[in-house]
């Protein structure tokens, strides 16, 4: 008599959260990407304390090749490139995280309200999203920065905020990049809310007299958290790439501040037929590429782990 096959995977008895962690840990590429991302963030946060050079101090050691004194060499103004790359990566990550936060706030609220209320309001709100989709997003951000920067800077200076006035370009990047990145988030949340608002537990809560606001924010939105987290993780690299492109064009972070995009632009400007200072473009571009790859693979791993249909 043949015995029943032994079950060597007890994942069916795990809670949804532990099951998602189990699936994520089985994805080696996503796990390695998460560790790499953690190492990059720690390096950006504590790295400046490991170097004795100030990223904005000029010196007479222009175009020094990588050595024990300057691990990544120096730039055209004699500034230590290792310190500059860490400083630029910090700003690029800050823009990505804050911009994604703005996208999260606008997109979740817009999509949740449209999906839950439905009817004409839903139709009007989503047609507005369609109109914004038809506009080139990067051109919108460029127009926003070039047209409002001086007005915004003067207003901040007038209310007695000189430090914020000096960072007006950075604040506009936060707002502009977040304002063009929420459209897909709104559509995803709307679709999830549309599928949940007819569920039995929502109908039961309505029968008990629970307000629509409480149903939406306390019972429906927590059920779309997994999808929101996944798309948020995939939004951060796209915003970082947008910021790098704008800085490469000279419309993003400006000296003496630096971002990875502005550092790549500075390195590309030094390419000439006589000599190529390769370290000025290889190291910032490599750090940017590694960060984007880690974020994308990590987001893909989260998507697979939080998908209840995943094997």
Q: What is the pLDDT of residues 137-163, one digit of tens each?
A: 888 888 888 887 777 777 766 776 655
Q: Is the pLDDT of residue 32 over 90?
A: yes
Q: Is the pLDDT of residue 37 over 70?
A: yes
Assigned domain for 90 exists: yes
Overall average pLDDT of the 165-189 stretch: 81
Assigned domain for 213 exists: yes
Assigned domain for 12 exists: no
Mean pLDDT of all residues in the chain?
A: 83
For residue 105, the model assigns a pLDDT of 92
Tokens 């823009």 found at? 95
- Domain holding 181, by residue range, is 20-49+68-306
Q: What is the pLDDT of residues 277-298, one digit of tens each?
A: 899 999 999 999 999 999 989 9
Overall average pLDDT of the 181-202 stretch: 89
Sign of CA dihedral 98, 103, 108, 109: positive
Assigned domain for 33 exists: yes
Assigned domain for 13 exists: no
CATH number at residue 250: 1.10.3720.10
Assigned domain for 225 exists: yes
pTM exceeding the 0.85 threshold for the entire prediction: no
Distance between CA 31 and CA 311 in Å, rounded? 17
- Based on C-alpha coordinates, what's the Rg of the chain? 24
Q: Is the pLDDT of residue 65 over 80?
A: yes
Q: Please count the helices (runs of H) and the strands (runs of E) in the chain.
A: 13, 0
Q: What is the pLDDT of residues 298-309, one digit of tens each?
A: 988 888 887 655
């Amino acid at each position: 008599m043949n015995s029943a096959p032994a079950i060597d995977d007890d994942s069916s008895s795990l809670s949804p959260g532990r099951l998602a962690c189990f699936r994520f840990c089985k994805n080696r590429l996503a796990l390695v990407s998460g560790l790499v991302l953690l190492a990059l963030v720690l390096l950006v946060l504590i790295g400046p304390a490991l170097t004795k050079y100030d990223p904005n101090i000029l010196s007479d050691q222009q175009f020094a090749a990588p050595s024990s004194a300057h691990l990544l060499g120096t730039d055209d103004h004699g500034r230590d490139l290792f310190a500059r790359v860490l400083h630029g990566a910090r700003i690029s990550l800050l823009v990505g995280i804050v911009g994604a936060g703005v996208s999260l706030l606008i997109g979740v609220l817009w999509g949740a309200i449209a999906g839950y209320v439905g009817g004409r309001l839903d139709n009007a709100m989503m047609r507005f999203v369609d109109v914004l989709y038809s506009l080139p997003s990067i051109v919108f951000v460029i127009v926003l920065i070039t047209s409002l920067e001086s007005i915004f800077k003067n207003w901040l200076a007038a209310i007695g905020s000189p430090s914020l006035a000096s960072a007006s370009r950075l604040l506009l990047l936060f707002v502009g990049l977040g304002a063009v990145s929420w459209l897909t988030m709104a559509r995803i949340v709307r679709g999830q809310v549309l599928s949940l608002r007819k569920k039995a537990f929502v109908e039961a809560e309505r029968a008990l007299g629970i307000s629509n606001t409480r149903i939406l924010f306390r019972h429906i939105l927590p059920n779309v958290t997994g999808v929101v987290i996944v798309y948020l993780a995939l939004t951060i690299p796209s915003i970082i790439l947008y910021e790098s492109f704008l800085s490469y064009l000279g419309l993003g972070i400006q000296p003496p501040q630096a971002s990875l995009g502005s550092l790549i632009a500075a390195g590309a400007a030094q390419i000439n037929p006589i000599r190529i200072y390769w370290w000025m473009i290889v190291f910032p571009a490599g750090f940017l590429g590694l960060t984007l790859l880690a974020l994308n693979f990590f987001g893909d791993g989260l998507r697979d782990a939080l998908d209840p249909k995943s094997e």
